[in-house]
Amino acid sequence: MSTTLDRLDLSPSTTHTNLYPPVLIEEAIRRGEGLLAANGTLTCRTGDRTGRSPKDKYLEDTPEIHDSIWWGKVNQPITSERFEIAQRIAIEHLNAQHDRFVFEGFCGADPAHRLGVRVVTEQAWHNLFARTLFIPLGSEAAGGSTDWSCDWTILNAGRRRLTPEEQAQLGVSSPVLIAQSLTRKTVVILGTEYAGEIKKSIFYAMNYDMPDQGVFPMHCSANVAKDDPDNVALFFGLSGTGKTTLSADPDRALIGDDEHGWGPNGVFNFEGGCYAKCIRLSKEGEPQIWNAIRFGSVLENVVIDETTREPDYDDASITENTRVTYPVTYIPGAVIPSVGRHPKHVIFLTADAFGVLPPVSRLTREQASYYFINGYTSKLAGTEAGVTEPQPNFSPCFGGPFLPRPPAIYAEMLNERIERHVARVWLLNTGWTGGPYGVGSRFKLAYTRAMVRAILSGALDEVPCEPDPIFGLPIPAHVPDVPDEVLQPRNTWADGAAYDEQARRLAGLFRTNDREFEMPDAVRAAGPNG
C-alpha cells in the first residue's frame, strides 16, 4: 500500500485551521450539529455511541514497538496493511467533505515534555472539543508559545461507518474502528461521534511516549493549596470516581482534572481543558463545574428543554454518561500554565459497588503498590458502550484501557517517585455504603470532601488507624466533620453477615486478579484475606 497522509487534502480553500470558538460554534449550529443552550453552551449528540468503544480499538503491530506492548484485550493488534486500509477510508471520506476543520496545538503544559497534536475533523463541534481539551498555540496555557511541529495526527471521520465488506477486509466485526499507530503517530477514528475518543487516543500516545522521556504518565487529576505550592495532591481514578469533582475545590487551585505527567520538576497537565461527567450536576454540589458551563464549552448528550433551552442534568434518557468539556481557564484560580511541584499526597479513588470498602484508609507502601497495580473500581453506567449498571472492574494503574506498555512499568515509576518524594498514599471509596448497588447509597459528597480536606491539611497524618479485618486497610478512628460510624463499612449495613459475605466475595476477586501480575511477596501479602 502506498497510502500516506500526504493524500489528505488540507488546502486553504476547503480547510479551516485553528478557528476561534465563536466561529466553530456558529459553524456547528449552521450545519445542524448542535444547539445553543440558554447558558450559551453548544449542546451536541454523539449518536448511538455515547461512551468509549474499547472493543473496537486496535493498535498497529510493527517490529519497532512489538516487544514493548502489553498485548491482550486492551491492546488488540492490527496489521500494517489493514491499518493503511482504515487510514485510506478515513482520508477519502475527509477529502470528500466540503469543509474540514483542523486544530493544531499541544498536549503537555511542560514545554520540556509536550507533543504537537493535529486534529482533522469533518464536524465543527469535534474541532471545538479538541481546541477545548488540548492547548491552543499562543495561549496562556501554552506559555504563549507558537513554536509547533506535528508529532501526532488524529483523522476523525466519525460519521463514516464501515460497510460489511470493509469489516471483512479489516478483520473486524463492527462498523466502528479506532486504529492507532505508535510508529506512524496517527489515529484513525471511524464510525463513532463520541468525542472522548479524540481525547483518550492522545492520552494513550502520552502513555507510550512519556516514559522514554523520564516522565510518569498518570490517569489522575491534580490540585495545589493556594497558600502552599508544595502541597500538591493527585487523585487517581477511572471515569465516575470523582477525579474532576474532588479536584475542583474552591479552596485549592486546579492544575488539571484527568491526565498528568510526573517529571523531574514535578507534575504537569497533559491537557488544556476538563471533561466532566454532568449527570445529576447541581450548582450546590459542584459550583465550579456548574459555573464553567458557558459559552465556549460543549455539552454532550445532555437533554435540553425544547422551549426554554435549559439543560436538564437529571435526565439520563440518552445516557448516564452525559459530559461537558470546558477550558481549564474557566475554573477560577486555576494554575496557568498547568504545572506544579512534586506531590505531597496521592489519593486512589474507587467507586465500590459492593459497598464494602472503607470510605478512607491510609496505605502502607506495600498496600499502595498492591492497590495501584490492581486498580479496582466499578465500571459505571454509560462510560463504555453496553454498560448499563455498575460492574466490578480491575483496571491496572487506574487506567488500564489507556496503557500501551505493561502495567508493571507504570507501577514501578509510581513507587520510585513516592519513595523519593515521601508522598503519603490514601484510598478513598466514593462508591456505595450501607449495602451494595441497588440496596445501599453512594457516599455523601460532603463526607468525601471532608475526608479530602482532612488528608490535605495533615489532620489524618497521626490519627490512630484500625486495620479492616478482611482487606487490612488502615481505617482512621476519626475524621473531622464525618460521623465515626460511617468510617467502618460493616457498621453501615443492616445485616452484618451479608456484609461479610460481600466483603469476602470482593476479596476473592482481588486475589483472582492479582495472579495476573508479578509482584514482590511483601506487596502480594498487603492484599486482602480472601
Q: State the cell numbers at 449.
A: 470532601
Cβ density class 356-368: b for 16+ within 10 Å, e for less: bbbbbbbbeebbb
Catalytic residue among 239, 241, 319, 448: 239
Q: 43, 49, 52, 249: which is the annotated catalytic residue?
A: 52
Continuous segment of H or E residues that includes residue 232: strand 228-236
Q: Residue 100 catalytic?
A: no
Q: Which of 249, 258, 352, 468 is catalytic?
A: 258
Active site annotation includes 323: yes
Q: Which three cell numbers stand for residue 31?
A: 450545519
Long-range contacts of 28-35 (CB under 8 A, 24+ apart): 28/123, 28/124, 28/125, 28/128, 31/123, 31/124, 33/123, 33/124, 33/125, 34/125, 34/298, 35/304, 35/309
**244 is annotated as an active-site residue:** yes
Q: List the catalytic residue out of 185, 219, 344, 345.
A: 219
Catalytic residue among 323, 362, 379, 449: 323
Task: Give, in degrees to the nearest 5, the angle at Cα 350 between 345 and 352.
Answer: 150
Neighbours of 65 (CB within 10 A): 16
DSSP 447-513: HHHHHHHHHHHTTTSSS-EEE-TTT--EEES-BTTB-HHHHSGGGG-S-HHHHHHHHHHHHHHHHHH
Q: Which of 201, 244, 325, 369 is catalytic?
A: 244
Q: Exactly one of 82, 113, 185, 200 is catalytic; which is it?
A: 200
- Residue 485 and residue 477: Cα distance in Å, rounded? 10
Catalytic residue among 185, 243, 277, 344: 243
- Quick count: other Cβ atoms within 10 Å of Cβ 36? 16
**Is 230 a known active-site residue?**
no
Q: Is 200 a catalytic residue?
A: yes
Q: Which of 193, 178, 188, 184 is nearest to 49 (CA)?
A: 193
Q: Which of 372, 378, 380 is nearest to 355 (CA)?
A: 378
Catalytic status, residue 13: no
Return the active site residues. Answer: 52, 200, 219, 239, 243-244, 258, 323
